């Protein structure tokens, strides 16, 4: 065991066979941002990503994580080389944790998804398990402000260990690198001056916390207020829904569908779509108010119509499930965004700086949490 002033820390990440992308879900990027922060902590001497859970080998890990800011090791190496393991993308086995703790290691579970809702849905609808309640001996659970209401008591009861709220982290470094692959005639970033707006929706539609249902109604209400400003609506992540009878009945009740303004699309990273097809992004969340999609939209200066209370006063906010208010916000954004673009960008930049993994306040918060594991 190293001293508390020179901790060796690993962050678990799921690696499977074959091609894998950092854009498949936010948790992969979150692992990298946490690793970036840990490198700056004065109590950390070494940080690694630990490939686990999946069927991928170390070559798969190296291909997937070729742009990682830290080295990648396997679970066997982690047993001998680490003082703290942060379970994040890959869930650790109970047996591994017991052995690791027996030699003085500490284990934290960093929960960055709405596990309460996900687990309930998987139980009710007989889907494969997500979070496994194994009775493993965690030292602490870390989670995000967005889950303080819905998940914090759930984690405390199921893990039987203290739960700590930690800052959400984001950096444009992964987005900027991805945008380098755009064709020469495409650029990520809002371009003012279009007479009619093209709108994108990127909710996963995999769990009820983030769906396209309310965003479609937001666009519907905006279209009723002003039938001339929407050129097209790209409803992404809906190919699996378009053949469902209930979804079809809902969609075809809307003017935006009857008037041929919307199309149902597959799953794409935001930067691939907005750089070519969108002027605005409409979102909705339910107890999931911190999303990388929001940060990426704000970074690009795109008008973000959202219902999050955790992104300061950025974007154009409607409240809760109020799709009529959302429609008004979208219509108002169309009227004012170009004129207020400089101020919008400035406000967004100030907020995004608070998420920086290398910001002193964030490094300090995680450093204090690490020290508390050893009662220092």
- Walk me through the domains of the chain, giving residue ranges and CATH numbers: 7-171+356-373 (3.40.50.2000), 175-353 (3.40.50.2000)
Condensed to tens digits (0 to 9), the pLDDT of residues 27-54 reads 999 999 999 999 999 999 999 999 987 7
By C-alpha distance, which of 248, 28, 49, 288 is closest to 151? 288
Q: Which residues contact 321 (CB under 8 A, 6 or more apart)?
A: 214, 284, 286, 307
pLDDT value of position 55? 77
Q: Which of 58-72, 231-245, 287-301 has the lowest mean pLDDT?
A: 58-72
**With bands split at pLDDT 50, 70 and 90, how would you rate the model's confidence at 107?**
very high
pLDDT at 1 over 70: no
**With bands split at pLDDT 50, 70 and 90, how would you rate the model's confidence at 64?**
confident
Residue 343, CA atoms < 13 Å, CB-side half-sphere: 6
Give the global pTM.
Answer: 0.95
pLDDT at 376 over 80: no
**With bands split at pLDDT 50, 70 and 90, how would you rate the model's confidence at 198?**
very high
Tell me the β-bridge partners of 256: none
**With bands split at pLDDT 50, 70 and 90, how would you rate the model's confidence at 63?**
confident
Neighbour-count burial for 35-60, b at 16+ CB within 10 Å, e otherwise: bbbbbbbebbebbbbbbbbbebeeeb
Q: What percent of the chain has pLDDT over 70?
A: 99
pLDDT value of position 266? 95
Q: Which two tokens stand for residue 252?
A: 């075809």
pLDDT value of position 201? 98
SS3 2: coil
pLDDT at 2 over 70: no
Q: Which of 33-42, 51-60, 214-223, 224-233 has the lowest mean pLDDT?
A: 51-60
Q: Which of 64-68, 82-86, 209-213, 330-334 has the lowest mean pLDDT?
A: 64-68
More confident residue, 57 or 273: 273
Average per-residue pLDDT for the chain: 95
Condensed to tens digits (0 to 9), the pLDDT of residues 263-322 reads 999 999 999 999 999 999 999 999 999 999 999 999 999 999 999 999 999 999 999 999
**With bands split at pLDDT 50, 70 and 90, how would you rate the model's confidence at 65?**
confident
pLDDT value of position 18? 85
Condensed to tens digits (0 to 9), the pLDDT of residues 269-282 reads 999 999 999 999 99
By C-alpha distance, which of 266, 267, 185, 279 is closest to 232? 279
SS3 102: helix
Distance CA 92, CA 85 (A): 9
- DSSP, res 365: H
Span 332-352, mean pLDDT?
Answer: 98
Neighbour-count burial for 296-315, b at 16+ CB within 10 Å, e otherwise: bbbbbbbbbbbbbeebeebb
More confident residue, 185 or 166: 166
Span 324-348, mean pLDDT?
Answer: 98
pLDDT value of position 241? 93
pLDDT value of position 46? 97
Residue 334, CA atoms < 13 Å, CB-side half-sphere: 23
Q: What percent of the chain has pLDDT over 90?
A: 86
pLDDT at 3 over 80: no
């Amino acid at each position: 065991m190293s001293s508390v002033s020179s901790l060796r820390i690993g962050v678990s990440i799921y690696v499977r066979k074959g091609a894998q992308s950092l854009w498949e879900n936010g948790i992969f990027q979150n692992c990298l941002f946490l690793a970036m922060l840990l490198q700056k902590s004065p109590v950390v001497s070494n940080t690694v990503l630990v490939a686990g859970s999946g069927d991928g080998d170390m070559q798969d890990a190296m291909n997937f994580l070729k742009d990682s800011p830290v080295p990648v090791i396997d679970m066997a190496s982690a047993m001998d080389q680490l003082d703290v393991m942060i379970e994040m993308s890959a869930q650790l086995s109970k047996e591994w944790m017991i052995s690791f703790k027996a030699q003085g290691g500490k284990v934290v579970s960093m929960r960055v998804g709405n596990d309460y809702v996900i687990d309930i849905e998987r139980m009710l609808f007989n889907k494969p398990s997500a979070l496994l309640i194994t009775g493993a001996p965690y030292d602490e659970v870390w989670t995000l402000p967005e889950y303080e209401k819905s998940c914090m008591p759930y984690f405390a009861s199921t893990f039987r260990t203290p739960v700590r709220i930690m800052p959400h982290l984001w950096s444009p470094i992964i987005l900027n690198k991805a945008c380098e692959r755009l064709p020469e005639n495409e650029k990520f970033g809002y371009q003012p001056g279009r007479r009619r707006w093209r709108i994108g929706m990127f909710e996963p539609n995999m769990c009820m916390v983030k769906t396209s249902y309310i965003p479609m109604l937001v666009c519907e209400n905006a279209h009723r207020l002003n039938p001339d400003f929407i050129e097209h609506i790209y409803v992404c992540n809906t190919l699996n829904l378009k053949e469902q009878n209930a979804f079809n009945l809902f969609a075809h009740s809307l003017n935006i569908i009857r008037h041929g303004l919307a199309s149902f699309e597959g799953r794409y990273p935001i930067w691939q779509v907005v750089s070519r097809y969108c002027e605005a992004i409409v979102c909705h969340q339910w107890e999931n108010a911190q999303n990388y999609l929001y940060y990426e939209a704000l970074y690009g200066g795109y008008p973000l119509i959202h219902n999050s209370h955790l992104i300061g006063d950025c974007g154009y906010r409607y409240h809760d499930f109020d799709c009529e208010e959302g429609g008004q916000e979208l219509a108002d954004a169309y009227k004012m965004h170009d004129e207020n673009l400089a101020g919008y960008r400035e406000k967004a930049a100030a907020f995004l700086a608070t998420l920086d993994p290398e910001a002193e306040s964030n490094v300090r918060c995680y450093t204090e949490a690490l020290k508390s594991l050893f009662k220092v």
